[in-house]
């Protein structure tokens, strides 16, 4: 897998990452969502450099200009709920993309330290020969990303796959590395050291879905 960890180079992205991590700033829910969206825009811009381009002509009022434009047919799929603001950020740049949504959540049984991933809702176009962008801001154990990909398989075989995430744990990155083809790209804002016993990324940011949309009741 090609891992693109954008934190390896300093940029304005660091400001957005620090704000979603900060225990005081992250409480501003609108700012939290907007920062995830802004990170989606930055990741989308970087990802765009790996797409295919074709020379096209554009008529201006005064002449003709030639420019390389991407000819990838993109399907943008994000994992509910926390994926929504990241999806919006990516869609701000890939504005003609087709879109897929899937729900994947951790279902805790009696023991809060063990959970399974439940996939319930899935709306997806044909993926055959498409460029699939699979987005989820948190790559903790990596199980949601892998369960989602398995659920998408009946919709066709994408030509290329780009995973997009904001914060990953080393363990989750290795997990997806073992489950996806080696041609897959991972575009990630930063990678943290470890997970705690409940599967939260340390230091991470807490619960991205709750920070973006409010706490949910377990059912
Ligand atoms: O890599 P994993 O260990 O699978 O964990 C990551 C998943 O956890 C979060 O979702 P969560 O289950 O909290 O649902 P939510 O988005 O509804 O809050 C996050 O958005 C990922 O989907
Ligand atoms: O640290 C984590 C792990 C999974 N989901 C989150 O929102 N945060
Ligand atoms: Mg989720």
pLDDT tens digit sequence for 120-175: 899 999 999 999 999 999 999 999 999 999 999 999 999 999 999 999 999 999 99
Task: Give kind and range of the element (H or E) at residue 175.
Answer: helix 170-179
pLDDT at 115: 77
Residues 164 and 145 sit within 8 Å (Cβ to Cβ):
no
pLDDT at 146: 96
pLDDT level of residue 117 (50, 70, 90 thresholds): confident
What percent of the chain lies above the pLDDT cut of 90?
90
Closest CA to 136 of 199, 179, 182, 189: 189
Closest CA to 40 of 4, 91, 103, 77: 91
pLDDT level of residue 105 (50, 70, 90 thresholds): confident
Under CATH, what is the fold of the domain 2-49+74-213?
Rossmann fold (3.40.50)
Q: Is residue 153 packed enough to be buried (19+ CB in 10 Å), middle (13-18) or exposed (0-12)?
A: exposed
The ligand with the least distance to the CA atom of 216 is: 1
Backbone angles phi, psi at 41, to 5 degrees: -65, -45
**Which residues share a beta bridge with 132?**
75, 161
HEC string for 106-138: EEECCCCCCEEEEEEEEECCCCCCCEEEEECCE
For residue 117, which atom of ligand 1 is closest to its CA? 4
Nearest CA to ligand 2 atom 6: 207
For residue 195, which atom of ligand 1 is closest to its CA? 3
pLDDT at residue 110 greater than cutoff 80: no
pLDDT at residue 113 greater than cutoff 80: no
Nearest CA to ligand 2 atom 3: 200
Q: Give tens-digit pLDDT for 56-103.
A: 999 999 999 999 999 999 999 999 999 999 999 999 999 999 999 999
Cα 124 to ligand 2 centroid, rounded to whole Å: 24
Environment of ion ligand 3 (residues, CB < 5 A): 79
Q: What DSSP string runs through 79-99?
A: EETTHHHHHHHHHHHSTT-EE
The ligand with the least distance to the CA atom of 149 is: 1
Provide the mean pLDDT of the chain: 96
pLDDT at residue 112 greater than cutoff 70: no
Cα 129 to ligand 2 centroid, rounded to whole Å: 32
Ligand 2 binding residues, C-beta < 6 A: 82, 138, 140, 199-201, 204, 207-209
pLDDT at residue 219 greater than cutoff 90: no
User: For residues 48 and 64, what is the distance between their CA atoms, to the nearest angstrom?
Assistant: 24
Report the complex ipTM: 0.96
Nearest CA to ligand 1 atom 5: 140
Domain ranges of the chain: 2-49+74-213
pLDDT at 106: 74
Cα 68 to ligand 1 centroid, rounded to whole Å: 37
Backbone angles phi, psi at 24, to 5 degrees: -90, -45
Specify the pairing of strand 131-135 against strand 98-108. Answer: unpaired
């Amino acid at each position: 897998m090609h891992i693109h960890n954008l934190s390896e180079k300093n940029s304005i992205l660091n400001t957005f990452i620090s704000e979603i991590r900060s225990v005081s700033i992250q409480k501003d829910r609108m700012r939290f969502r907007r920062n995830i969206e802004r990170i989606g825009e930055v990741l989308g811009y970087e990802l765009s450099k790996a797409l295919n381009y074709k020379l096209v002509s554009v008529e201006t009022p005064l002449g003709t200009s030639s420019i390389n434009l991407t000819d990838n047919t993109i399907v943008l799929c994000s994992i509910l709920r926390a994926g929504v603001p990241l999806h919006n950020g990516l869609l701000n740049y890939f504005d003609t993309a087709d879109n897929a949504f899937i729900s994947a959540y951790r279902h805790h049984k009696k023991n809060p330290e063990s959970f399974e991933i439940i996939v319930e809702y899935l709306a997806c176009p044909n993926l055959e020969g498409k460029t699939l962008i699979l987005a989820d801001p948190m790559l903790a154990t990596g199980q949601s990303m892998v369960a989602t990909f398995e659920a998408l398989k009946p919709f066709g075989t994408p030509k290329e796959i780009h995973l997009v995430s904001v914060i990953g744990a080393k363990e989750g990155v290795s997990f997806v590395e073992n489950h996806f083809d080696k041609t897959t790209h991972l575009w990630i804002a930063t990678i943290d050291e470890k997970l705690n016993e409940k599967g939260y990324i340390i230091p991470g940011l807490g619960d991205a879905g709750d920070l973006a949309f409010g706490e949910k009741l377990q059912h």
